[in-house]
Chain A
Amino acid sequence: MLIKDVLCPFCGCLCDDLAVEVDNNKVVDVQHACKIGSSKIMGHDRIKAPMMRDDKKGEFREVSYDEAINEAAKILANSKRPLLYGWASGVCEMMKKGVLLNEEVGGIIDNTASVCHGPSALGVHEKGMPTGTLGQFANRADVVVFWGCNPVQAHPRHMSRYSVFAKGFFATKARRGRKVIAIDVRKTDTAELADEYIQVNPGMDYIVMSALRAIIAEHADVVPDNVGGVPKEKLVEIAETLKNAKFGVIYFGMGLTQSRGKYKNIDNAVSLTTELNAFTKYSIIPMRGHYNVTGFGNVCAWETGFINAVDMSRGYPYYNPGETCSNDLLMREEIDAAFIIAGDAGAHFPAQSIARMGKVPVVQIDPFHNPTTEMANIVIPTKVSGVELEGTAYRMDGVSLRMRKLVDVDFPSDEEVLDKIIAKVCEIKGASA
């Protein structure tokens, strides 16, 4: 059976044009996807059953779902400062349960953006975000900037579907009608494909943006001969290109959000975009990683008022990044239990945070074994969303789509596991109250 219009559960492009051949309840072929997406849909080694161990250095033993869920609920119910982290590789339906669970346990809910595009959110708090949907950019953009991102590797179909090679209503010449500028500290494969590559010295993005803003505001006289490794004449040339666009778009990645300057880089990039709108039309958009990390930000915002890092210990949502993000809490050794779902803290957190996770009970909910598993006390495997489960995901531009189910499996969904944990937590807390 060939299933069409399948959504890809890999990156923030959330490509929805895949065709998947399913034979005998097994995925046998994936068409149109990139290699990474295809690999995820084809499937690989799964955690076969729930597992527990008392000693993190000990061996896991297989247990029933009920036992694992009850123990996980006990850990959360008895914790004074639990962290509920991850949420990016799942569907919105489970995220809603996550927010509810966080209310019940009075913990902190935070998602993978915390170590990724979290600073972009702070940039939005400061300056907003003039943006649009990816199709708008495909139809109109004649100047495309990739700043601190490398879609060739991280979002393999981005350039062909939306940004560089895509034809559009106004962009009839596709690649030939587009000026592509890559700005990065190293010459990535994306930079290789660009018309212009601007090499910025590491950590100097902010002043390069400031120089561009000064030139665009007709204050080129204050710009020194060389800014962050870029000659002034090059910056003047780029500023002209930017201003002369019919429609420009700036795609940015973790080269901006996680380098020196962090959220201030985004603040500055949004200011640059806003100012360019005085000349022509400009948009800016973060290149989101996980296929539904954007979904968590949306769900969390409409349910709590805040985009991530929400502390419910007061009985109402409290948000203060720098204080309530996962690594702030782990490094201060506040966290006394960690609940990691649909995200891999073990692979991405700094050593100091990992050290704290080594000292507290860790519950992991994930279909796959990953570095977080090495720190876990309880591991509960679930369905792979978008392959074994349908549900909602948000593309990097905020367009929400419904992911399809391709095959049937016996694993429970994240949502089902969370429902049971919530019920058990309420039971324990009710008994102790």
Chain B
Amino acid sequence: MSELLIKNATVYDPINGINGDKMDIAVKDGKIVDSIGGGAQTIDAQGRLVYPGGVDAHTHIAGSKVNVGRIMRPEDSRSGIKPMTKITRPYTGYTVPNVYAMGYRYAEMGYTTAFEAAIPILKARHTHEELEEIPIIDKGGLTLFGSNWMVMDAIRENDLERLAAYVAWGLLASRGWGIKIVNPGGGEAWGFGKNVSGLDDPVPNFEVTPRQIIRSLAEANERMNLPHSIHLHCNNLGHPGNYETTLDSFDICKDIKPKRDRQALHVTHVMFNSFGGNNWGDVQSKADVIADYLNSHDHLTIDMGQMIFGSATTMTADGPVQYANARTFKARWANGDVELEDVSGVTPLYYSPQVYFYGMMWGIGQELALLTKDPWKVLLTTDHPNGGPFVNYPEVITLLMSKKKREEAISKIVPKAFEHCMIHTIDRELDWYDIAIKTRAGHAKVLGLIEQGKGHLGVGADADIAIYDIKPDETDATTEYDRVKAAFRKAAYTIKGGQIVVKDGEITATPMGRTYWVKTTVNNGGYDRMMEDLKMKFRQYYSVNMGNYMVQDEYVQHPVVVETEYAEV
């Protein structure tokens, strides 16, 4: 029985409404408890900042596209190198780190949970092979359904029961946590080198629209009572003028009633979808309009997709976007069509502060976070490694906490950028409580992980705890941003399931984390209709047999299975 007592902590635990209270935290057998006996191991936090372990609801840490990034970019693997030690395997990579660096670096920053944002079902086995090799952190993944033939066929025939049955089967087959939709319909169009342009542009050969795909999957999501809402990457990503499509996409789910205490829709890396204007000459930030929408509606949440200057490896199931990027920047291009299901692309980019639209994108991410009043509605991400690698979260935290820090950063960016965005006019500065929401509590709530004991420090929660070497009472984050950044960069302690895994920023233990997935039971005629259709598709169109398709138990060695049941709304 392991016991741990953290004394004299300055705790921020927004899910339990704790805002900088001085308290002790008791841990027994990996969980937070009321109190423990006298013999426990004790850490004296000495008034330092204590948060629940960080949670990342949208990151690309595993699977074929990540590995293609590694294979395509040996130069990236040559950075960030740290030799092996008696405890740790070697680290490599910056934008596409090896599996070990993924786990170690998240843990070093006080993060204990990260969810992979795109699992193609046919390649889910690969994704889980990598997830299983990522040490320390708990994991999960979102399964791609946005251009799937089974999905589109069921929607065209207006058969929501069959749709839900397939989604349930797909989540089981991929061991996934939720429904990811990327450029709905566009993936199928990309099968023949095309795209869809808007929400009402029919998907070639399938006679459904992106609007129908989003709406139907959102409805199916609630009927299945999934912990997370649908997770949407909007159409027209990266195009000037796309904010209108984004607002339209928000509206589609306006009247969806969530079955759980969470949003009906999560829209991801909205920075890339908040552009006004007609072309790259007059492109401009529409983050204020997006934020206005968020301020007046409660059915959705977003994440920032903050851009970080420097090297990035963009990777997405939005295949057409990646081809356009590669053509525009004469960059390397990897494409990855997945039969019947989706597509993807990988392209390395370099975000230079001397390019004004990159400066604008840098501004938009922060504008979304700062102009949206409710901190729970906008999560802090970089859409790793699309906007930039996750190791830059401390940089983003300081930008959000300090106007002075932003001014310093702005002075290094080409001034023309600020004719296209408004970040330089914003005075808001977030506090320790806001940051706790944006980096852990909000993520856990959006993903539906609170009841799994994530993102908070209430009794019964997982003892995933980060202690940072900074005292909120004695630190002015608006001016001492270098200290804040250093503290968030290397946690004084990261505690994972009650075990100390990081001390003074160094890895001290490498336990294996768990993988969360959802098993939904669908007992209705839709299941039989779905199976008939699915068997036909395997016989005729898949290149693998149905008997070899589903991810086997061997690939998820430390599972946490959440069960739900289908019910008519």
| Interface, chain A (partner B; CB < 8 A) | 4-5, 7, 16-17, 92, 96, 103, 121, 124-136, 138-140, 161-162, 167-170, 246-247, 274, 277-278, 280-283, 297-298, 301-307, 312, 314-317, 319, 392, 394, 398-402
Contact = CB atoms under 8 A, between A and B. Distances in A.
Most chain A beta-carbon neighbours within 10 Å: one of B82, B98, B323, B543:
B543
Contacts of B540: 167, 169
A281 B343 CA distance: 13
B93 interface: yes
A92 B190 CA distance: 32
A132 B336 contact: yes
Interface stretch (B126-134, B213-221, B516-524): B126-134
Contacts of B93: 305
A162 B71 CA distance: 25
A315 B84 contact: yes
A302 B122 contact: no
A57 to B, nearest CB: 39
Give chain B's interface residue range (CB within 8 Å of chain A).
35 or more
A293 to B, nearest CB: 14
Nearest to A390: B554
B123 A398 contact: yes
A421 B198 CA distance: 58
A355 B340 CA distance: 50
A129 B68 contact: yes
B505 to A, nearest CB: 19
Contact of A133 (B72, B92, B122, B193): B122
25 contacts: A4-B547, A16-B545, A92-B129, A103-B84, A103-B90, A128-B326, A130-B323, A131-B336, A134-B543, A139-B339, A162-B543, A274-B333, A281-B191, A298-B67, A302-B66, A303-B133, A304-B90, A304-B98, A305-B76, A307-B74, A315-B84, A316-B90, A317-B77, A317-B81, A399-B122
Contacts of A315: 83-84, 90
A128 B306 CA distance: 26
Contacts, number: 186
Contacts of A121: 71
A161 B260 CA distance: 46
B64 interface: yes
Nearest to B97: A305
A135 B340 contact: yes
A281 B545 contact: no
Contacts of B123: 398-400
Contacts of A125: 71-74
Interface string B120-146: 001101100110010000000000000
B72 A401 contact: no
Contacts of A392: 125, 129
A-B pairs with the 5 shortest C-beta distances?
A305-B77, A132-B337, A135-B339, A135-B543, A281-B193
A303 B98 contact: yes
Contacts of B552: 402
Contact of A139 (B77, B126, B541, B548): B541
B203 interface: no
B544 interface: yes
Contacts of B67: 298, 301-302
B338 interface: yes
B70 A281 contact: no
A316 B133 contact: no
A327 B343 CA distance: 37
A306 B77 CA distance: 7
B204 to A, nearest CB: 10
A317 B92 contact: yes
B548 A5 contact: yes
Contacts of A399: 122-123, 126, 543-544
B552 to A, nearest CB: 5
Contacts of B327: 278
A303 B67 CA distance: 10
A133 B339 contact: yes
Nearest to B345: A130
A289 to B, nearest CB: 18
Contacts of A96: 133
A92 B128 CA distance: 13
Nearest to A104: B84
Contacts of A135: 339-340, 541-544
